[in-house]
């Protein structure tokens, strides 16, 4: 297809010449920036490394589920699970030693094992006597063992190791050793797995998510909002913000660092992708400075709504999601700027029946973004978007 979709540019989708060029020299590929740390983007992140090694993934550190929740409770720290997931998704598994490192850092301790056996397993890993560790070549093995040792020395006596992710423990050890700064260990982890892309938390502060519902009730904590481990919300979220602790109800502000603002403003394409709309996408836009940096970016900005039910979006169709997204970004800019400074396009599958709440074309047009239609699903991917087809669209827009 061919359409004028941004700044009066006529763009071919899929653009075979661009795709071939990017695939031939992925180290020179475009800087596509994603605001998402969720699992919905895992396959896309893996797929896009064939075309570019310069994708940027801005991750929310506010998760409070699984292994991340246990670590956050024990060490009063930001969540690292989504950072680990995305780094492993970008890993180059073709390099010597990387598959073994990938297997170790992606390994979880058995959830059914007793604590004493799990502690012995961790000790064996630290000492280099565990099979997963022995398979990792030096000097990477020594680096991983070092951070596991740092974690072990700081681990509370009652820490629950059941289901713990080894990669999360490594990230935590590095976080603690570097005066609670995650940046050095994220870089080291990235080098260990030869990540073909950049992963950064939107902020380094230890904060949580808060939501005010229609009846005025305030719910604090990502795990209480997302509706996966607890009962789903039965009301719409009317206001969404950051809070200091799980018991807080008062919104707090935090500013992004200069390096994050630069990553955003220098992007070749900004993508608000599918995933948990509030806790994975909108959460990344809450810190001060994100909206201003997006406004400064002279590139296309695209929103990709879910083609499946999102329990966070109680009766909130895509047009209303666009409203919420723009509301947050405009607020960061004190209402200045045009809506198209923050969003140019909405990418929709040609079959609108897939979208919960339906597609209100007139309302979307009134909000500013142009609609770009494409056959996004395959028989194998249905009801989710096919990662290869989505990559074709995104890369063609660069």
Residues 155-213 have pLDDT tens digits of 999 999 999 999 999 999 999 999 999 999 999 999 999 999 999 999 999 999 999 99
Rounded average pLDDT over 292-315: 93
Indicate whether 251 pLDDT > 60: yes
Q: How far apart are CA 306 and CA 60, in angstroms?
A: 19
Residues 39-76 have pLDDT tens digits of 889 999 999 999 999 999 999 999 998 889 999 999 99
Rounded to 5 degrees, φ, ψ at 234 are -115, 15
Q: Which residue has the tokens 């094992």?
A: 113
Q: How far apart are CA 55 and CA 271, in angstroms?
A: 11
Q: Is 379 exposed, middle or buried (0-12, 13-18, 19+ CB in 10 A)?
A: exposed
Q: How far apart are CA 144 and CA 22, in angstroms?
A: 33
Domain spans, the chain: 2-60+256-397, 66-199, 208-253
Q: How far apart are CA 214 and CA 139, in angstroms?
A: 55
Indicate whether 277 pLDDT > 70: yes
Indicate whether 2 pLDDT > 80: no
Instruction: Find all residues with CB under 8 Å of 302, minimum gap 6, and list them.
Output: 269, 270, 271, 272, 343, 344, 345, 346, 347, 372, 394, 397
State the pLDDT at residue 6.
Answer: 55
Residues 366-380 have pLDDT tens digits of 999 999 999 999 999
Q: Which of 200-204, 230-234, 251-255 has the lowest mean pLDDT?
A: 230-234
3-state secondary structure of 264: helix
State the pLDDT at residue 230.
Answer: 82
User: How far from chain centre, in Å, is Cα 316?
Assistant: 21
Indicate whether 9 pLDDT > 80: no
> What pTM was estimated for this model as a whole?
0.95
pLDDT-based confidence at residue 8 (cuts at 50, 70, 90): low
Average pLDDT, the chain: 94
State the pLDDT at residue 3.
Answer: 53
Q: Which residue has the tokens 């950072």?
A: 83
Q: Which of 21-35, 72-86, 87-101, 365-379 has the lowest mean pLDDT?
A: 87-101
Percent of the chain with pLDDT over 90: 86
pLDDT-based confidence at residue 139 (cuts at 50, 70, 90): very high
Which residues does residue 34 pair with via DSSP β-bridges, in sequence order? 57, 271
State the pLDDT at residue 283.
Answer: 97
């Amino acid at each position: 297809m061919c359409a004028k979709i941004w700044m009066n540019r006529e763009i071919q989708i899929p653009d075979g010449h661009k795709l071939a060029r990017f695939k031939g020299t992925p180290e020179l590929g475009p800087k596509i920036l994603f605001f998402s740390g969720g699992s919905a983007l895992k396959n896309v992140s893996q797929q896009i490394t064939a075309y570019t090694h310069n994708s940027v993934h801005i991750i929310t550190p506010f998760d409070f589920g699984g292994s991340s929740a246990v670590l956050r409770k024990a060490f009063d720290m930001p969540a690292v699970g989504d950072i680990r997931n995305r780094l492993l998704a970008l890993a180059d598994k073709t390099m010597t030693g990387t598959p073994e490192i990938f297997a170790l850092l992606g390994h979880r301790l058995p959830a059914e094992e007793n604590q004493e056996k799990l502690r012995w397993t961790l000790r064996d890993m630290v000492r280099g006597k565990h099979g997963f560790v022995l398979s990792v070549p030096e000097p990477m093995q020594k680096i991983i063992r070092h951070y596991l040792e740092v974690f072990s020395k700081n681990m509370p006596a009652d820490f629950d190791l059941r289901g713990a992710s080894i990669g999360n423990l490594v990230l935590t050890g590095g976080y603690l050793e570097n005066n609670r700064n995650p940046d050095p260990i994220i870089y080291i982890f990235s080098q260990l797995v030869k990540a073909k892309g950049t992963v950064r938390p939107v902020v380094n502060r230890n904060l949580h998510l808060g939501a005010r519902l229609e009846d005025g009730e305030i719910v604090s904590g990502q795990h209480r909002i997302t509706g996966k481990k607890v009962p789903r919300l039965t009301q719409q979220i009317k206001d969404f913000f950051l809070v200091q602790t799980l018991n807080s109800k008062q919104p707090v502000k935090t500013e992004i660092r200069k390096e994050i603002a630069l990553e955003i403003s220098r992007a070749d394409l900004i993508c608000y992708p599918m995933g948990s709309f509030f806790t994975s996408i909108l959460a990344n836009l809450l810190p001060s400075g994100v909206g201003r940096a997006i406004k400064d970016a002279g590139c296309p900005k695209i929103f990709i709504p879910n083609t499946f039910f999102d329990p966070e979006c109680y009766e909130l169709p895509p047009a209303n999601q666009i409203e919420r997204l723009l509301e947050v970004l405009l607020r960061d800019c004190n209402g200045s700027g045009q809506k198209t400074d923050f969003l140019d396009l909405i990418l929709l599958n040609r079959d609108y029946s897939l979208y919960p709440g339906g597609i209100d074309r007139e309302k979307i047009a009134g909000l500013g973004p142009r609609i770009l239609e494409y056959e996004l699903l395959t028989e194998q991917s249905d009801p989710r978007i096919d990662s290869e087809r989505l990559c074709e669209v995104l890369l063609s827009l660069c």
